[in-house]
Structure 1
């Protein structure tokens, strides 16, 4: 297993974790959908913005 595969797996785990956290948050349904789409469509930028401004809790 190469370094790229390990980094890809770590990245996938982080994205899945973020999506689960969004889904469990107290945000409205539309807000959840928009955050999840942002994370999927713009993975790096979406995750950074979500970490900074996303729903907490």
Structure 2
């Protein structure tokens, strides 16, 4: 059940809020490396599409 904005505002005067994420876990160096490679590849493709209107090759 989701709390409404009004309920959250009324509780914020007396209470603190904590959020627990199911997928919040330490990331291994291998996974982080792969994520960085994917990020920079996508970023390069987007920059090329903006500059040339398409991927140059």
Coarse TM-score class (shorter-chain normalised): 0.3 to 0.5
TM-score of the pair, normalised by structure 1:
0.46
Normalising by structure 2, report the TM-score.
0.46
